[in-house]
Chains A and B, each alone.
Chain A
Amino acid sequence: MMRFDSALGLEARRGPVATAVKVVVYAGMVLVFTGPLIGLLVSAFSRTLDPTSFSLWPDGFTLDNFVQAADKNVYRYLLNSFVVVGFGLLLQMLVSVFAAYSLSRKKFRGMAVVMLIMLATMMLPEEIIAIPLSLVLADLPLLHADLIGTYAGMILPVGAWGFSILVMTEFMKEVPVELEEAARIDGAGELRTFFTIILPLCRPALGVIGVFGFTMIWDQYLLPLIVAPEPGMWTLPIALRSLRSDEEVGIGVLLAASLLALLPSIIAFLAFQRQFMRGLTSGAVKG
């Protein structure tokens, strides 16, 4: 009896040859895509290090690399990364839910234009505007503040993200209006209705924009490169490059720092996997 669960119908094929082929293919896939990362994980704790290769099998266990990392300011960079991602994500999520509330609930003149603006921003990644952005950050129009070398310079530009706003807007459209109108008739103000009625109902979508925002901010490279000329303000990803070729310490510190830069996003992904997949498909399908 054939089953039709998939295009190739591989799962339906049993028997020793089919099973062997499947095992080889699946094990190969896991090895190819996780091998380099496992190599990094193992090598970072390994006692002896070959600068040309990773050890897939641990050669003794040591925390030396992580101890030496302290001398190279790695934990300072890690702290900077956490400050930026912490405040950046908080700001980004607040800005997104506020904007989405307006776009999904209110009807007003100019709404179509606002939607268009949101979409347009997604065509303007920081690579395209890097050079002028650095000038704007050095001297904000009207406010005349200099954000170069500050956390604010790395946080504010990621504060509004079209993707988060659109995902949130789509979700809020599905939340029934009746609840909130009931609250309003009970005399609750706009902000109270928003925080006590709407936001709790949006928890699944908050997970989606939370985990995507986290990965997006954690992965920022060009922005901190522009904003933080001094090592004291570097985030971990941009600091990696400077840890590379140190004659005394070899590649141990680089591996330890790379692992520290890798873990938070992997943990966020594994913890919020379902939300991540949801956001992935909705984001791709809606452009």
Chain B
Amino acid sequence: MGPSVTLTQAPPAPATSRRRPRRAPRRGTLVAWAFLAPALLLFLYFKFIPMATGLVMSFQEIRYLDSTWVGLDNYRTILTDEAFTAAIRHSVVLALGTTAGSLVLGLVLALLIEGPARYLWFVRTAAFLPVVTTMAVVAEVWRIMYHPGDTGMVNSILGWFGADPQPFLASEHSSLLSIMGMSVWRGTPYDMMIFLAGLVGVDRTLYEAAAVDGATTWKRLRHITLPALRPVFWILFTLAAIRGLRVFVEVYVLTNGGPNGSSEVLMTLVYKLGFQKGELGVASAGGILLFLATLLLTVLVQVMRRRQAA
């Protein structure tokens, strides 16, 4: 430590001391911006300019090259149109169901496989594979497994327990639920892993003290473990809810919104409107609404966490 401390405190070499004091800070700033420039430029071009363009377009009706200002009409369309309100409802149901399912299952599994043993490490690694698997592949695999006939894989397994074959993705009544099932399968190990990281941080002496006091396992869980996991829980909730609201690939690959619009979510509808029907104005407004919902959710959870912490 000694030599480096003296080095940092040493006065600048005499040769440069005449120029340095005035130029150094400005040159440092210039270097800082130069190093930041690539990131800022890419963000400007591929995040902020599109966002601004989208905002402007959401107030316009766009026909080929002409665009006319229509104020809030596009937003009105989205909030009153039946297809859109249904899609928003499906998005919310899917987001809530996936989030709740993954959180509960993730917590239970995390508690079950907590521990330093080597074989638990293997179980964790194996269970985590769905999270790193490309979404498109997950969806293709599940589409095959959800085959509606009684030879379909999930139906065969249900058959072992004496259940009747289900139509899954092929029925209006179960398509959304089937997508949710796949999303929970992929989301659970992620939540499990984050909960496990949170469990490591729980004070072990508290467990010991509880045992001395003769507390049951349930009481220990209820009064020590779960309260310690609360911050982790909120982070996971926000992340999952946001991810759930902007779900696209899962639905696009599994059902593309069908049958009969029963699993259409906001993003698949926006995609169809924007790229297939050329309704750029309405589609942009859909994107902006999604952004606002995301923003609102984040702020809300932050405020709730602050209030809880205080």
The interface of chain A, by Cβ under 8 A from chain B, is 2, 4-11, 25-26, 29-30, 32-34, 36-37, 39-40, 50-54, 94-96, 98-99, 101-103, 105-109, 111, 114, 117-118, 121, 123-125, 127-136, 140-141, 156-157, 159-160, 165, 176-179, 181-182, 185, 190, 215, 218-219, 221-222, 226, 237-238, 240-241, 244, 251, 254, 258, 261-262, 265-266, 268-270, 273, 276-277, 280-281, 284-285, 287
Which residues of chain B have C-beta atoms less than 8 A from A37's C-beta? 129-130, 133, 141
Instruction: Enumerate chain B residues within 8 angstroms of A7, measured Cβ to Cβ.
Output: 111, 114, 199, 202, 207, 220-221, 224-225
Chain A residues with CB under 8 Å of B117's CB are 11
Nearest residue, chain B, Cβ from A124 = B47
The answer to the question of B78 belonging to the interface, with a C-beta cut-off of 8 Å to chain A, is no
**CB closest chain-B residue, reference A102:** B35
B115, CB-defined interface residue at 8 Å: yes
Please tell me if the beta carbons of B129 and A269 are within 8 angstroms of each other in the complex.
yes
- Provide 9 A-B residue pairs closer than 8 Å at the C-beta atoms, listed in order of the A residue: A52-B147, A105-B32, A111-B32, A131-B270, A131-B275, A136-B50, A178-B5, A237-B135, A287-B235
CB pair B133 A128 closer than 8 Å: no
Of the candidates A5, A135, A265, the one whose C-beta lies within 8 Å of that of B134 is A265
Residues from chain B with Cβ under 8 Å of A244 in the complex: 140
Interface residues in B117-158 by Cβ distance below 8 A to A read 117, 119-120, 122-123, 125-130, 132-137, 140-142, 144-145, 147, 149, 151-153, 156
- Of B39, B141, B295, which one neighbours A165 at CB under 8 angstroms? B39
B304 CB within 8 Å of chain A: no
Across the interface, do A130 and B36 meet the contact criterion of CB distance under 8 Å? no
Report the minimal beta-carbon distance from B229 to chain A, rounded to whole angstroms. 9
B272-307 at interface with A (beta carbon < 8 Å): 274-275, 280, 283-284, 287-288, 290-291, 294-295, 298
Residues from chain A with a CB closer than 8 A to the CB of B152 are: 52-53
Among the interface residues B45, B120, B217, which one has the most CB atoms of the partner chain A within 10 A?
Answer: B45
**Which residue of B45, B135, B275 is within 8 Å of A141 (Cβ)?**
B45
CB of A177 within 8 A of CB of B197, answer no
Which among A128, A262, A266, A281 is the interface contact of B287 at CB below 8 angstroms? A128
Residue interface mask B42-63, A partner, CB < 8 A = 1: 1101110111011001000000
Q: Is B80 an interface residue (CB 8 A)?
A: no
CB B247 to nearest CB in A, in angstroms, measures: 8
Q: B239 contacts the other chain (Cβ, under 8 Å)?
A: yes
Query: Would you call B115 and A128 a contact (CB within 8 A)?
Result: no
Q: Which chain A residues border B119 with CB–CB below 8 Å?
A: 26
A270→B121 CA distance, assembly (Å) = 13
**Alpha-carbon separation in the docked complex, A95 to B37 (Å):** 9
Please measure, in the bound complex, the distance between the C-alpha atom of A132 and the C-alpha atom of B56, giving whole angstroms: 10
Once the chains bind, are A26 and B271 in contact (CB under 8 Å)? no
Q: How many residues of B contact A (CB 8 A)?
A: 104
Contact (Cβ within 8 A) B123 A132: no
CA gap between A270 and B224 in the complex, in Å: 34
The answer, among A5, A30, A36, A160, for a CB contact under 8 Å with B141, is A36
A127 touches B290 (CB 8 A): yes
One of B29, B136, B239 near A261 (C-beta < 8 A): B136
Do A131 and B283 touch across chains, with their CB atoms under 8 A apart?
yes
**A29 in contact with B113 (CB, 8 Å):** yes
Question: Who on chain B is nearest to A111 by CB?
Answer: B32
Q: Is the CB of B116 within 8 A of A5?
A: yes
- Considering only CB atoms, which chain B residue lies closest to A81 in the complex? B134
Contact A240 B50, CB 8 Å, known A36-B145, A160-B38: no
Picked from A2, A6, A157, A277, the residue with its CB within 8 Å of the CB of B46 is A157
Known: A7-B225, A8-B111. 16 other contacts (CB 8 A): A8-B221, A51-B144, A53-B153, A108-B32, A128-B54, A129-B287, A131-B270, A159-B38, A178-B4, A185-B7, A190-B31, A219-B135, A237-B136, A266-B132, A280-B190, A287-B235
- Give the complex CA separation of A241 and B132 in angstroms: 20
Flag if A125 contacts B246 (CB, 8 Å): yes
Cβ of B70 < 8 Å from any Cβ of A?
no
Given contacts A106-B28, A130-B287, A266-B129, is CB(A4)–CB(B123) below 8 Å?
no
Minimum CB–CB distance for B234 against chain A, Å = 10
A132 to B67, CA, bound (A): 14
Query: Is B253's CB within 8 Å of the partner chain A?
Result: yes
Residue interface mask B187-224, A partner, CB < 8 A = 1: 00110011001010010100110010000010011001
Q: What is the CA–CA distance of A7 and B224 in the complex, to the nearest angstrom?
A: 9
Decide if B33 is an interface residue (CB 8 Å cutoff).
yes
List the B side residues contacting A218 at CB < 8 Å. 134
Kindly list the 6 A-B residue pairs having the minimum CB-CB distance in the complex, ordered from nearest. A106-B32, A178-B4, A132-B54, A160-B42, A237-B136, A132-B53
Closest B residue to A23 by beta carbon equals B119
**With A and B bound together, what is the CA distance between A140 and B35 in angstroms?**
23
Residue of A nearest to B289 (CB): A128
- A130 & B153 in contact (Cβ 8 Å cutoff): no
Inter-subunit contact B39/A8 (CB<8 Å): no
